[in-house]
Amino acid sequence: MTTEDGPKLAGVVGWPVAHSLSPRLHGFWLKAHRIDGVFAPLAVRREDFSVVLRGLRLAGFQGVSITLPHKQAAFSLAHSLDADARAAGAANLLVFRRDGAIDGFNTDVTGFAASLAQEKVSVDGAKAILVGAGGAARAVALALDRRGARAIWVLNRNAARARVLAQDLAPFVHARLIAAQLSDWSAIAFDASLVVNATSAGLRGAASLELSLDALPAAAVVCDIVYDPVETELLRRARARGLRTVDGLGMLMHQAAPAFRAFFGVEPEVTTDLRLTLERALCRHA
Ligand code: NAP
């Protein structure tokens, strides 16, 4: 089947996916660029991933964005992978080629790097602290390295997982990656330039990250990749202490831009209007 004469089709594959902001995000750009296209939320169970992917390709989809829990499965299924996906061991974008092959990308890496760039946060030569050791933390570590971080301390509740992350990523980065315990925080934080929460702590309804921000220097920047709520408890505390903050919506918008370009052939812009649209959507399902 082909959709050459119909709308271009794409979507986000996840489980659950009902609260994904991606349809709203791509819908904003489709409207802004007057593109005849559809971007659908696709709720797919783990065990159905590969069969659904095959069906979407046969139904004429251009490709799909991938969210939890499928990023590793997407990595395994792709026929080719970009350097960031290879390093992260995960893909969040699959593009279907006409010859039936599937190209995998990890745009979380460039998404986080672009978010820092947009907020004019310099990481060059910096000591950064990354909290978390899941899939998103891997992307953040690679982005910090790409932006020139000198040393990246990786702290995780499960410290063994931080060590695995540091070992796995070491061949792909220039920065020094050092795994540590969350309890080491105060000893490490005193001269850090940047802290990134890449855990799911702070998500609406979940416990917040319990780190004392008093340990950080006054010039430190605090980032959270959680974007629901946009201002997490961690960012609220950082702002109250007078520290600069970067929220997770920037990463979300910037990781979606290359996906939109791949699906619909147009380079979209990350604008204040887009941010306001997403913030309003988050308020509605708060
Ligand atoms: P994941 O692979 O499931 O990893 C979850 C991480 O959170 C692990 O490091 C886990 O520690 C830690 N964690 C969970 N609850 C915690 C708590 N109460 N205290 C301390 N640590 C806790 O998930 P992921 O894919 O990396 O995603 C993490 C978050 O990033 C999610 O909230 C997701 O929404 C967000 N994210 C945002 C973007 C964006 O565009 N802004 C993109 C991707 C992901 P343990 O290993 O000890 O369990």
Distance 132 CA to ligand 1 centre (A): 6
204, 201, 242, 203: which is closest to 222 by C-alpha?
Answer: 242
* Ligand 1 center–CA 156 separation, angstroms: 10
pLDDT of residue 4: 60
Q: Give me the pLDDT at residue 2, please.
A: 46
Ligand 1 atom nearest residue 208's Cα: 18
Query: Who contacts 120 (Cβ-Cβ below 8 Å, separation ≥6)?
Result: none
Q: Is the pLDDT reported for residue 286 higher than 80?
A: no
Share of the chain above pLDDT 90, in %: 96
**Cβ–Cβ under 8 Å, residues 66 and 94:** yes
Average pLDDT over residues 202-219: 95
The crossing angle, in degrees rounded to 10, of helices 249-264 and 272-284 is: 110
Active-site residues, by number, are: 71
Q: What angle do CA 121, 215, 150 make, to 5 degrees?
A: 45
Query: How much is the pLDDT for 214?
Result: 96
Strands lying side by side in the sheet with 176-181 = 176-181, 151-156, 127-131, 194-197, 221-224, 244-246
pLDDT band at 285 (very low <50, low <70, confident <90, very high): confident
Ligand 1 atom with minimal separation from the 108 CA: 42
Pocket of ligand 1 (CB under 6 A): 68, 108, 111, 132-137, 156-158, 161, 198-201, 203, 207, 209, 225-227, 248, 251-252, 255
Residue 193: CB atoms within 10 A of its CB come to 21
**Does residue 258 have a cis bond before it (omega within 30 degrees)?**
no
SS3 label, residue 270: coil
- Region 196-202 average pLDDT: 97
Convert the pLDDT of each residue in 78-90 to its tens digit.
999 999 999 999 9
CB-side neighbour CA atoms (13 Å) of 265: 8
Are 92 and 66 a contacting pair, CB within 8 Å? Answer: yes
CB-based burial, 112-144: b 16+ in 10 Å, e otherwise: bbbbbbeeebebeebbbbbbbbbbbbbbbbbbb
Work out the average pLDDT over 149-164: 97
Q: What local confidence, expressed as pLDDT, does residue 257 receive? A: 98
Can you tell me which atom of ligand 1 is nearest the CA of 68? 25
Residue range 185-199: average pLDDT? 97
pLDDT value of position 1: 47
* pLDDT mean over 157-164: 96
pLDDT (0 to 100) of residue 92? 98
Quote the pTM value. Answer: 0.96
| DSSP letter string, 188-217 | HHTT-SEEEE-SSTTSTTSPPP---GGGS-
Average pLDDT of span 200-223: 95
Distance separating alpha carbons of residues 37 and 35, to the nearest angstrom: 6
Helices 107-118 and 135-146: angle between axes, nearest 10 degrees? 50
Report whether the peptide linkage leading into residue 69 is cis, meaning its omega lies within 30 degrees of zero: yes
Q: Which residues pair with 65 in a beta bridge?
A: 12, 93
